[in-house]
Amino acid sequence: MKFIALCSAAALIALPAVTMPAQAGDDAIGKAVSDPTRLEEQSARDADRKPAEILRLAGVREGDKVADLAVGGAYYTAILSRLVGETGKVYAVDPTLIFKAFPNASKTFPAYLEKDPRENVVYSVQRFDELALPEPVDAVLMVLYYHDTIWTGEDRAQMNERIFEALKPGGAYVIVDHDALDGAGDEVTKSLHRMEKKVVAPEVLAAGFTLETESDILAHPDDPKNDSVFDEGRRGKTDRFVYVFRKPS
């Protein structure tokens, strides 16, 4: 893969849902999120996506090496690149299989970089079940994409093993996705872009991870979960689950 530099799954122990309080913007994460040079269309989504709280759960710090998988419009890449700074690196990776299904999607990230060039970002397009990064990383984020690996046919067991191998000992694997109704099954992963959260943890634990946190900071109990996440009035208001897994030290 040519990189282009641009500028135990059995019984789960029930963990208490964690809600991180908002903090003042004088810490590194707060400063990255509040950076006035971020694109306005991205920062306008902060209230719904709560990136500072997510990154505090993950423990991402200045100088870290981080992989952002399925970057799309680069919402998290933009924040991460500001957070890790000149001594850090963000490996932004888009999914080959999505581009095969939606060729125009391949233009999204390059278009973002034209408006917000980031010298510490390295971009590539890969199959996630063949993921290869040039160095071990401190954290891997997969935000609102795990469900897509079901309908695209990605080998998730192999993908999670690749992510495990890519992380440093103690590294974080963060998954955020839209929850589905219990018993909805795989059919809704493409039609509604949702998945049952109970599917995720056993799959990730089977790769060797431990479950550190399950958070309700993006919960929306009033979401009926029977409509598309792209329906009018639903975007940003879906009931989303947040998992932080760790590679054992």
User: Please, are residues 162 and 173 in contact by the beta-carbon 8 Å criterion?
Assistant: no
Does residue 212 form part of some domain? Answer: yes
Give the count of domains, the chain. Answer: 1
Select from 80, 59, 6 the least CA-distant residue to 246: 59
Mean pLDDT of 118-127: 97
- pTM here? 0.89
Asked whether residue 4 is domain-assigned, the answer is no
The per-residue pLDDT for range 102-120, each reduced to its tens digit, is 999 999 999 999 999 999 9
Q: What pLDDT, on a 0 to 100 scale, did the predictor assign at position 15? A: 46
Distance CA 168, CA 21 (A): 28
The C-alpha atoms of residue 61 and residue 38 are separated, in whole angstroms, by 18
Is residue 195 situated within a structural domain? yes
- The confidence score (pLDDT) of residue 196 equals 97
What pLDDT is recorded for position 32? 98
Q: Which residue in this structure is represented by tokens 């054992």?
A: 248
Pick the range with the lowest mean pLDDT from 15-19, 73-77, 120-124, 233-237. 15-19
* In a domain? residue 161: yes
User: Residue 233 — pLDDT band, cuts 50, 70, 90?
Assistant: confident
Whether residue 199 lies inside any domain: the answer is: yes
Q: Which of 7-16, 21-30, 86-95 has the lowest mean pLDDT?
A: 7-16
Domain range for residue 210?
49-246
> Which pLDDT belongs to residue 24?
35
Rounded to 5°, the CA angle 173-4-36 comes to 65
Task: Name the band, by pLDDT with cuts 50, 70 and 90, for residue 179.
Answer: very high
CATH code (residue 93): 3.40.50.150
- % of residues, the chain, pLDDT over 70: 90
Residue 223: exposed, middle, or buried by beta-carbon count in 10 A (0-12, 13-18, 19+)? middle
Top pLDDT among 98 and 23 is at 98
Picking from 16-20, 79-83, 95-99, 200-204, which range would have the lowest pLDDT averaged per residue? 16-20
| Average pLDDT across the chain, whole number | 91
Residue 231 in any domain: the answer is yes
pLDDT at residue 129 tops 70:
yes
Q: What is the dihedral of CA 15, 21, 26, 32, to 10 degrees?
A: 60
Residue 27 lies in a domain: no
Residue-level pLDDT at 223: 96
Residue 12: inside a domain: no
Distances (CA, A) of 11 to 87, 169, 175, 198, 249: 40, 23, 20, 12, 22
pLDDT band at 235 (very low <50, low <70, confident <90, very high): confident
User: What number is the average pLDDT over the span 30-43?
Assistant: 97
